[in-house]
Chains A and B, each alone.
Chain A
Amino acid sequence: MLKIEHLTKKYGDKTAVDDLSLHIKKGMIYGFIGHNGAGKTTTIKSCCGILQFEGGNIYIDGISIKEDPLACKRKLAYIPDNSYLYEFLPGIKYLNFVADIFNVPKTEREERIKKYADLFELTEDLAQPISSYSRGMKQKLVIISALIHDPKLVIMDEPFVGLDPKATHYLKNIMREICNNGGAIFFSTHVLEVAEKLCDEVAIIKNGKLVISGSMEEVKGNHSLEGIFLELEGE
């Protein structure tokens, strides 16, 4: 579903991501772990086609993001690590705007908005301007907008930040549901317990380079993910 091949991204002289290769298959929740500034967000943004990279290539469902970025973007949804949204729009208008952009048919968009807004308890607030939303409400709105076109691949940067425990629980269920329906999830997180319980595979990145990747069992063995992460970070 998502194939990163020898990705290299530089900011001036600094190499943010160095020859990174990952393969996220259909039906897989893939965790991406690393310290602050390790290159997680750079990798994620490159996968979403909003960051140019010097070396390597990224394929979404077999399509190169370099060659056909629009086709790739139609298949994926991106949830960033911030919740900057159009504050001047009411929540429902924003969701409808996203639905228009992704050409979601009327009935489907109405059903999905109802389903996810009810689930995240945001329905009553949809008429309010986004400027009046709390951080958590904005994060919920970003999640709903990401799910509105039924994406095959969801790329998330720290998706649980700002969410209450109930919403976190629902998001985890949705992530599993997408994978069960043949989709894939690629997400970064600092919450190692969540990654350990949720992910089928995991990759740890340090200073832009891949340190280790594989199934959760392969990576952590008999240890905890936290222990492995700290051990690798200390090297």
Chain B
Amino acid sequence: MLKALIRTRLNALYSSFFYNSRFKKNRNKAFKIVVALFALYVIVSFLFMFGGFFYNICRPMADSGFAWLYFSIAAIMAVALCFVGSVFLTKAQLYDAQDNDLLMSMPIPPGYILLSRIIVLLVLNYIFEMSVLVPAGIVYCMNYTPTATGIIVFIVELLILPLIPLTLSCIFGWLLAVISEKVRNKSFITTVMSLVFLGLYLYFFSRINYFLQALIQNIHSIGSKIQSLAFPVYHFGLAISGKNMLSLILFLSGAIIPFAIVYALLAHNFIKIATTKKGLTRKKYKEQPLKVGSVKLALLKKELRRFASSPMYILNASLGAVFTLAFAVAMIIYRGIPDFIVEDFPQIVEYANPLIITMLCFLTSTNFISAPSISLEGKNLWILQSFPVDGGDVLLAKAKMHMVVCLPPVFLASLSCIFTIKLSFAQILLTLLLPALVTVFCALFGVVINLHFPKFDWVNETVVVKQSMSSGIAMLASMAVIAVPAILYVSLFTQKISTDLYMFICAIILIALCLWMYRYLKTKGSAIFAFLGQ
């Protein structure tokens, strides 16, 4: 039974990538190879990134007798990455899945339902964990000869360590579920909480070099703090470096026992949490005049409400807008490019405008709000299809929603650059135009791509937003729109045309592409939408 449940979860995960909902068949081999190659690229990038970090700290630590701290730090990083990578998924997977009612109506122990979901989360955690611990292990082996016992202990710990972040994310997910029972504006609160959390996370990683230096300088005091405050990771490091069996047992106990307790508690309360209706007082409707609006405005308002109703959607698909706002604020605070950057890279002043435009374009290209918007209609698709609205207007409303969310931060950031950096008239025009055009491009492209890669048979909306082919392609293509012209210019055109002229040419190409996509959505797109999901 448990096997069948796990198989179903993994199948859902697999089909989110490889099943074509539009034509109701699996995708072809070539498509799977492209996805596999991309996954490989991401994994290799992670391995090199963490490999570089561990290469810098391995010898200084191990030579000062702190090999255990090296592994403990690797463990802390793995736990942090796993937690951040899976925490947003945990609540959605454990408590908000659409098939909760169906599964709980069957003779399946609730613990099995929970366990099947936890196992899938565990698989994801292994992927995150290995991208940190494998390079840490390889770097250590490059510097020192490992013993057989050390390797065995490392493998055992590798298998057990993800239980720690999983325990933490189960508790966090459970807390969110409990809070969401009580709170009315849970979507807003969850979004704010998650943004604060993400801000702290980014703050830590932006200051990683400072922390790295501080770590090596204060190795003794940090070591003793980890020893006293984070005993499982302390024993994690000690067990590998000292081949200390007692430490191994203590680490295993520190990882397994809390997980077992949390699992038992969750299994006990699973039905209650998954089935409890909101404990809110019923809001009684008081008759009031209704606002009348146009069809296009009604469609746009509906899209915006859909977007605002899901913190997961906001946090994953529009993070670029938050970063763009942060960029605008930073430009105002530092009154242009910060001095510490100019000191390190003096030549940046000469290329300030193209660099800033590229950065703004890149930030806005990371938003992919429109890319899952058709798929998110899910079982509600019949509503729009049965209404007397042009499919093109429906599709454009989705693109407009993307623009309404992303364009204001982009304009704010552009204005902050214009007022803080000395620019020519042409550069001012470009600073206003190009990032806005990229935003429009991403908005339209997301809808076009989702029209061809829709997925309506989802169990949880997380699958559509985070793991669907449409979102993946939209993100990659949007970034390619920035990277390809930049690389082309640097490698071919630097001596031939000015950056301003080159950017104007890019703007014209973008305008042409946007106009083509607009026309496509109004004509062919409209026809495709009318019969989507058949």
Chain A residue with Cβ nearest B290: A96
Is B293 in the interface zone, CB < 8 Å from A?
A: yes
Q: Would A51 and B534 count as touching, CB distance under 8 A?
A: yes
Is A80 in the interface zone, CB < 8 Å from B?
A: yes
Chain A interface residue count, CB cutoff 8 Å, equals: 43
**With A82-B379, A86-B380, A88-B305: A123-B387 Cβ-Cβ less than 8 Å:** no
Chain A residue with Cβ nearest B306: A88
Alpha-carbon distance A183/B282, docked complex (angstroms): 38
**Digit string of B459-481 for contact with A (CB within 8 Å is 1, else 0)?**
00000000000000000000000
Is B385 in the interface zone, CB < 8 Å from A?
A: yes
Residues of B within 8 A of A84 (CB): 378-380, 382-383
- Among B12-20, B165-173, B294-302, the stretch in contact with A: B294-302
- Among A19-27, A29-37, A66-74, A194-202, the stretch in contact with B: A66-74
Residues of B within 8 A of A128 (CB): 282-283, 285
Q: Would A127 and B285 count as touching, CB distance under 8 A?
A: yes
Is B388 in the interface zone, CB < 8 Å from A?
A: yes
A-B contacts, 15 of them at CB < 8 A, read A69-B530, A82-B379, A84-B382, A85-B383, A86-B302, A86-B380, A91-B285, A96-B291, A100-B292, A105-B292, A106-B292, A110-B289, A125-B282, A128-B285, A132-B278
Q: Would A100 and B293 count as touching, CB distance under 8 A?
A: yes
**With A52-B534, A88-B306, A89-B305: A109-B290 Cβ-Cβ less than 8 Å:** yes
Is B3 in the interface zone, CB < 8 Å from A?
A: no
Alpha-carbon distance A80/B445, docked complex (angstroms): 32
**With A86-B383, A100-B295: A93-B305 Cβ-Cβ less than 8 Å:** yes
| A-B contacts at CB below 8 angstroms, number | 99
Is B457 in the interface zone, CB < 8 Å from A?
A: no
Residues of B within 8 A of A124 (CB): 284-285
For the complex formed, measure the closest distance between the CB of B125 and the CB atoms of chain A, giving whole angstroms. Answer: 30
* B362-399 CB contacts (< 8 Å) to partner A: 378-380, 382-383, 385-390
Residues of A within 8 A of B382 (CB): 50, 78, 80, 84
Alpha-carbon distance A92/B293, docked complex (angstroms): 14
Alpha-carbon distance A48/B386, docked complex (angstroms): 6
* B479-534 CB contacts (< 8 Å) to partner A: 530-531, 534
Residues of A within 8 A of B386 (CB): 48-50, 73, 78, 80
**Digit string of B124-159 for contact with A (CB within 8 Å is 1, else 0)?**
000000000000000000000000000000000000
Alpha-carbon distance A229/B295, docked complex (angstroms): 44
Is B29 in the interface zone, CB < 8 Å from A?
A: no
Question: Within the complex, which residue of A92, A96, A100 is in contact with B285, where a contact is CB–CB below 8 Å?
Answer: A92
Chain A residue with Cβ nearest B286: A127
Is B350 in the interface zone, CB < 8 Å from A?
A: no
For the complex formed, measure the closest distance between the CB of B275 and the CB atoms of chain A, giving whole angstroms. Answer: 14
Q: Would A89 and B302 count as touching, CB distance under 8 A?
A: yes
8 A-B pairs with the lowest CB-CB distances in the bound complex, closest first:
A100-B298, A88-B309, A73-B388, A126-B285, A127-B285, A84-B379, A50-B385, A74-B388
Is A169 in the interface zone, CB < 8 Å from B?
A: no
A residues near B, CB below 8 A? 48-52, 69-74, 78, 80, 82, 84-86, 88-89, 91-93, 96-103, 105-106, 109-110, 113-114, 123-128, 132
Residues of B within 8 A of A86 (CB): 302, 305-306, 380, 383
Is B287 in the interface zone, CB < 8 Å from A?
A: yes
Residues of B within 8 A of A72 (CB): 388
**With A70-B388, A80-B382, A88-B306: A103-B531 Cβ-Cβ less than 8 Å:** no
Alpha-carbon distance A103/B298, docked complex (angstroms): 10
For the complex formed, measure the closest distance between the CB of B527 and the CB atoms of chain A, giving whole angstroms. Answer: 10
**With A84-B379, A84-B382: A102-B293 Cβ-Cβ less than 8 Å:** no
Q: Would A110 and B290 count as touching, CB distance under 8 A?
A: yes
Alpha-carbon distance A71/B387, docked complex (angstroms): 10
Residues of A within 8 A of B278 (CB): 132
Chain A residue with Cβ nearest B307: A88
- Taking A69-B530, A125-B285, A128-B285 as known contacts, 6 extra A-B pairs with beta carbons closer than 8 A to each other, sorted by chain A number, are A51-B534, A72-B388, A86-B380, A93-B305, A97-B298, A132-B277
Alpha-carbon distance A71/B294, docked complex (angstroms): 17
Q: Would A50 and B388 count as touching, CB distance under 8 A?
A: no
Residues of B within 8 A of A91 (CB): 285
Alpha-carbon distance A101/B74, docked complex (angstroms): 56
Alpha-carbon distance A131/B384, docked complex (angstroms): 19
Alpha-carbon distance A131/B390, docked complex (angstroms): 27
For the complex formed, measure the closest distance between the CB of B305 and the CB atoms of chain A, giving whole angstroms. Answer: 6
Alpha-carbon distance A89/B389, docked complex (angstroms): 19
Residues of B within 8 A of A127 (CB): 283-286
Residues of A within 8 A of B291 (CB): 96
Alpha-carbon distance A109/B387, docked complex (angstroms): 17
Residues of B within 8 A of A78 (CB): 382, 386
For the complex formed, measure the closest distance between the CB of B311 and the CB atoms of chain A, giving whole angstroms. Answer: 12
For the complex formed, measure the closest distance between the CB of B303 and the CB atoms of chain A, giving whole angstroms. Answer: 11
Residues of A within 8 A of B287 (CB): 114, 123
Alpha-carbon distance A229/B310, docked complex (angstroms): 48
For the complex formed, measure the closest distance between the CB of A65 and the CB atoms of chain B, giving whole angstroms. Answer: 11
For the complex formed, measure the closest distance between the CB of A158 and the CB atoms of chain B, giving whole angstroms. Answer: 14
Q: Would A101 and B387 count as touching, CB distance under 8 A?
A: yes
Chain B residue with Cβ nearest A146: B386
